Structure 1
Amino acid sequence: MRGETATLIKIGAVYSALGEQQKALEYYNQSLPLFRAVGDRRGEGTIFIRIGQVYSELGKKQKALEYYSQSLSLLQAVGDRQGEAYTLNNIAAVYSELGEKQKALKYYTQSLPLLQELKARIYEATILTTIGLVYSELGEKQKALEYYTRSLSLSRTVRSIEQENIALNNIAAVYSELGEKQKALEYYTHSLLLSRLIMNSEQEALALFNMASVKRSLGNLTEALNDIEVSIKIIENLRTKIISQKLRTSYFATLQDYYEFYIDLLMQLHKTNPNSGYDVKASEARKRVSNF
């Protein structure tokens, strides 16, 4: 029976990864009576998480919450602290997607002491960042900074450069929104250096794009132009290496945002330097976008 349940779950997971969520549900639901037959409440709670995730993917958020709630009760009853923390975060994510930010905060903050107890420090750093994002969306920028800074400190302690990079970008974004542009540039520059250190081209392009935006707001148009041109070159290079059409479409959307900024910046430069050919470069950029 253990082998059968494990196989059913794996098949369900494959279907879920392929985007065939109804098929995934079919196999997950087949495993439930097997867990119940042997009284495996932890296994049953874990399947409820998977079913909740499928319903969330299908956009059925209330249905997802029902299954997460059942999972939470079961996992708390058997003392599965890791599963409990994971479920709390899933519930929080659904509430956040539903726009119920205060409820999301309630569940995220409930998971933190569990993660600390489990010494799941990288996951804790991730949740600290997520809480910061929720506070930022609520307009509580100082509170967001508090959580981003905690995430940054913890990321450095556990030497998670990827998580450190995310925290740096988020801190920079808040400082930029608060009008503290030089501070924002400091954090974006640090993010850029880290991205190059770990050879994360996507993060490098993002850091350059963000730096260009800040520099433009400060009136440093030429420096902004240099940053956005390097950023676009990186993104275009990445796009040529993507096989998945879905991912190529995602990169196309990113490129459009970058090019819109680039073209606007070129036309702004053209107004101040009408004989420097910036309008020609803008026209070439428009043609390139139309050919994507």
Structure 2
Amino acid sequence: MTKQRATTNCPVFSSLLEKIGTCWSCLGDQRKAISYYEQSLKTSKAIYGETTPHPDIAGSLHNIGTCWSHLGDQRKAISYHEQSLKMKKAIYGETTPHPDIASSLNNIGVCWSHLGDQRKAISYHEQSLKMMKAIYGETTTHPDIASSLNNIGSCWSHLGDHRKAISYYEQSLKMKKAIYGETSPHPDIAESLSNIGVCWKRLSDHSKAMKYYRQSLNMMKVIYGDKTSHPNIASVLNNIRLCKSALHE
């Protein structure tokens, strides 16, 4: 019994459980992933202490929250992300800019957006964005900053302020092009082009919407294949059809 406890209550075993959980999450089996993450969490608490702030414990809480979000239980996800956030602040400092804190703020924002509270989501996304700019630089191009700008744009779009949404989407698009290349086909660039198209469509500027949709479509065909059936391609084609109908083409 003593030998088994010594084998299982160690950081290496906890890390292995965490990695297996991540594999199951990547394969789409979030419940199986949660099972491994919870075992890892239990092991880490046994090693470091039930209430001790530790990066491994914070990481497990974060991962469990992400799984629950994928499963659609956003409130349970928020509970885990908030526990993780509280612990990360205890580890790194309440106001210290740190990528792990910024990530938790972003994830909580995503959950609130899924729950329909866009203003609360924006509050978390803006905190995350501010922290990322403090970490990477105010004018630095970084995928996490681009993603945060995109998320804020999405929230404003849901709130019906499509011009404000476009402003954030365009900042995100500009940054993505700087990261991946001005003319490089990339899913994130195609997504931004489509998002801007959606906003112009909702503002009834169907000609401008078509321009962005077609750029997005051309890029997606390069990425996924010209003859490939892909849900993103189908969505853009449908939006182009609706714009053509509105323009009586």
| TM surpasses 0.5 | yes
Structure-2 separation of matches of 1:198 and 1:17: 21
Task: Find 2:161's aligned residue among 103, 118, 140.
Answer: 140
For residue 49 of structure 1, give the secondary structure of its aligned residue in structure 2.
helix
Cα distance change, pair 14–197 in 1 and its aligned pair in 2 (3 A):
closer
CA RMSD between the two structures: 2.3
Quick check: 1:75 aligned with 2:88? yes
Task: Find 1:29's aligned residue among 33, 38, 47.
Answer: 38
Answer yes or no: is the 8 Å Cα contact 1:155–1:164 preserved in 2. Answer: yes
Match of 1:154 in 2: 175
1:79-111, Cα deviation, whole Å (9 max, x unpaired): 281211111111111111211111111101111
Mapping 1:94-113, distance limit 5 Å: 94-113=111-130
Structure-2 separation of matches of 1:212 and 1:128: 28
Match of 1:283 in 2: none
Structure-2 separation of matches of 1:41 and 1:171: 41
Structure-1 separation of matches of 2:69 and 2:234: 31
Letter in 1 for 2:76: K
Mapping 1:1-292, distance limit 5 Å: 1-17=10-26, 20-36=29-45, 37-38=47-48, 41-79=54-92, 81-119=98-136, 121-159=142-180, 161-200=186-225, 201=228, 202=230, 203-220=232-249
Unaligned runs of 5+ in 1: 221-292
Cα distance change, pair 205–7 in 1 and its aligned pair in 2 (3 A):
same
Which has the larger displacement, 35-44 or 99-108?
A: 35-44
Shift, 1:11, TM fit? 2.6
Larger Rg: 1
Which has the larger displacement, 4-13 or 105-114?
A: 4-13
1:116-165, Cα deviation, whole Å (9 max, x unpaired): 34437112212211211111111111111111111111111112632221
Shift, 1:54, TM fit? 3.0
Identity, in percent, stands at: 32
Structure-2 separation of matches of 1:108 and 1:165: 22
Answer yes or no: is the 8 Å Cα contact 1:85–1:111 preserved in 2. Answer: yes
Cα distance change, pair 25–176 in 1 and its aligned pair in 2 (3 A):
closer
Q: May I ask how many residue pairs the two structures share in their alignment?
A: 220
Letter in 2 for 1:121: H
- Which structure features the higher share of helix residues? 1
1:201-242, Cα deviation, whole Å (9 max, x unpaired): 43444433322221111111xxxxxxxxxxxxxxxxxxxxxx
Answer yes or no: is the 8 Å Cα contact 2:197–2:213 preserved in 1. Answer: yes
Q: What TM-score, normalized by structure 1, do the two folds share?
A: 0.68
Point out which structure has higher relative CO (alpha carbons under 8 A, 6+ apart).
2
